């Protein structure tokens, strides 16, 4: 009897503090919006004068009068821990619902929200407002065509990514019947660890001066993706050679001028230049063997 009484108690207990945490941010924002000015006035009292001045690039080809690119000013109330993405989301939710930008996970995993913030390619959700000078100038990624506001056309970037065949290829996979796994040594895993962190945000490609001029250049992200597979010991030598043959074309690795722009903007801290340089040396070594 006593155990039966305890059960509902233990079930209820976690509900109180934790279930509130699972409320989605969108729900939270909607709630805040509904509860309206009272809460707003409250927080405004706390952070009096602390607003973030945003200058956001605007362009909409479908609305007459918005076809001429311009910058819109938004003054967003500052909140501790606010990121650039939080700020533009606030601007969209509270001031102008037509403000358009891509975002999804908000934790630097999906790679949707790379913007050109204060003259540098950054991930909106990973950039703290406090670290930026104001006004914060937010533009779409350079060197890609703007579709609307902060949304750029990523087709070319994806084409280059796919050109390096970014998938594991091996003829000699162990028989499925044996339930054998294809193991990688810890050392080899460590070697490709950084290259596997790419989230396809396109910040590196946008920062690359050569990719801007030479449309055929594979670009840092695609080369890094190729590195991940070329350096994976589980693929056969023949496939590695095939990968190097893609990379050593005129518009492959050789176009990299080691400006380190990509390495500096990468939100996942991938040593892109280092990987490109290593592939150049690999390609040279492979060809020297035939001489």
Partner 1 sequence: MAERYSSFTPGGTGWLLQRLTAAFLVVVLAFHFFQLHFVNHAADVTFMGTQARMENIGYFLAMVLFLIAGTFHGVNGVYNALVNQGLTGTPKKVVLGVLIIASVALIAQGIWVALAMSGMIY
Partner 2 sequence: MSQSYNRGLIEDFGRWKEFSAGMWAWIFHKFTGWMLIGYLFTHIAVLSTAIGAAQGETMMLASEQVDVYTGTIQGLESLFIIRVLEVGLLAVAVFHILNGLRLLMVDLGIGLTAQDKSFYASLILTGVITVASVPTFLTGVGL
Q: How far is the CB of 147 from partner 1 (least distance, A)?
A: 23
Q: Among partner 2, partner 1, none, what binds residue 252 when CB lies within 5 to 8 Å by partner kind?
A: partner 1
Any contact of residue 164 with partner 1 (CB under 8 A)? yes
> Which of partner 2, partner 1, none does residue 59 bind to, with CB < 5 to 8 Å depending on kind?
partner 2
Give the closest residue to 200 by CA, choosing from 235, 237, 156. Answer: 156
* Residue 25: contacted member of partner 1, partner 2, none (CB under 5 to 8 Å, by partner type): none
Instruction: Report how far residue 87's alpha carbon sits from residue 92's, in angstroms, rounded to the nearest whole number.
Output: 9
- Find the shortest distance in angstroms from Cβ 145 to partner 2: 4
Q: How far apart are CA 188 and CA 228, in angstroms?
A: 10
Of 171, 143, 166, 174, the residue nearest 262 (C-alpha): 143
Q: What is the rounded distance in angstroms from the CA atom of residue 233 to the CA atom of residue 115?
A: 35
User: Alpha-carbon distance 113 to 124, whole Å?
Assistant: 5
Per-residue tokens: 226? 């190729």
Task: Tell me which of partner 2, partner 1, none is bound by residue 44, counting a contact when its beta carbon lies within the kind-specific cut-off of 5 to 8 angstroms.
Answer: none
What residue 182 binds from partner 2, partner 1, none (CB within 5 to 8 A, per partner kind)? none
Is residue 273 close enough to count as binding partner 2 by CB under 8 A?
Answer: yes
Quote the least distance from Cβ 219 to partner 1, whole Å.
10
* C-beta separation of 156 from 144 below 8 A: yes
Q: Which stretch binds partner 2 (CB under 8 A): 1-9, 116-124, 183-191, 241-249?
A: 116-124
How are beta strands 136-139 and 51-58 bridged, if at all?
parallel
Shorter beta-carbon distance to partner 2: residue 79 or 248: 248
Residue 166: strand, helix, or coil: coil
Instruction: Return d(Cα 116, Cα 140) in angstroms, integer.
Output: 6
Q: Which of 146, 211, 230, 270 binds partner 2 (CB under 8 A)?
A: 146
Tokens of 247: 């990379």
- The residue count for binding partner 2 (CB under 8 A) is 28
Determine the Cα–Cα distance for residues 60 and 240; give it in Å rounded to an integer.
Answer: 45
Residue 53 vs 245, nearer CB to partner 1: 245
Measured in residues, the chain has a length of 291
- Residues of span 178-217 touching partner 2 by CB under 8 A: 209, 212
Regarding 71 and contact with partner 2 (CB under 8 A), the answer is no
61, 105, 159, 185: residue in contact with partner 2 (rule CB under 8 A): 61
160 binds, among partner 2, partner 1, none (CB under 5 to 8 A by kind): partner 1
What is the C-alpha end-to-end distance of the chain, expressed in Å? 86
Residue 53's H or E segment, with its range, is strand 51-58
Residues near partner 2, by CB under 8 A = 59, 61-62, 69, 116, 119-120, 142-143, 145-147, 153, 209, 212, 257-261, 264, 271, 273-274, 277-278, 280-281
């Amino acid at each position: 009897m006593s155990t039966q009484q305890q059960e509902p108690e233990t079930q209820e207990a976690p509900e109180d503090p934790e279930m509130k945490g699972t409320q989605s941010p969108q729900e939270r924002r909607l709630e805040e919006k509904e509860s309206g000015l009272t809460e707003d006035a409250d927080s405004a009292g706390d952070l009096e004068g602390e607003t973030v001045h945003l200058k956001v690039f605007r362009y909409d080809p479908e609305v007459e009068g918005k076809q001429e690119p311009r910058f819109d000013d938004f003054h967003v109330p500052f909140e501790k821990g606010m990121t650039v993405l939080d700020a533009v989301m606030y601007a969209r939710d509270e001031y102008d619902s037509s403000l358009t930008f891509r975002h999804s996970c908000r934790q630097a995993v999906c790679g949707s929200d790379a913007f050109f913030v204060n003259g540098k390619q950054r991930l909106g959700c990973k950039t703290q407002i406090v670290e930026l000078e104001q006004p914060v100038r937010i533009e779409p990624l350079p060197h890609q065509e703007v579709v609307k506001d902060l949304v750029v056309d990523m087709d070319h970037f994806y084409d280059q990514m796919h050109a390096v065949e970014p998938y594991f290829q091996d003829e000699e996979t162990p028989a499925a019947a044996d339930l054998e796994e294809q193991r990688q040594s810890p050392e080899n895993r460590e070697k490709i660890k950084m290259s596997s962190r790419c989230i396809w945000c396109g910040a590196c490609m946008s920062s690359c001066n050569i990719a801007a001029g030479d449309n055929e250049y594979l670009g840092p992200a695609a080369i890094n993706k190729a590195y991940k597979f070329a350096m994976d010991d589980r693929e056969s030598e023949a496939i590695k050679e095939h990968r190097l043959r893609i990379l050593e074309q005129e518009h492959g690795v050789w176009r990299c001028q080691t400006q380190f722009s990509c390495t500096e903007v990468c939100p996942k801290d991938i040593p892109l230049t280092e990987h490109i340089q290593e592939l150049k040396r690999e390609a040279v070594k492979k060809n020297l063997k035939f001489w």
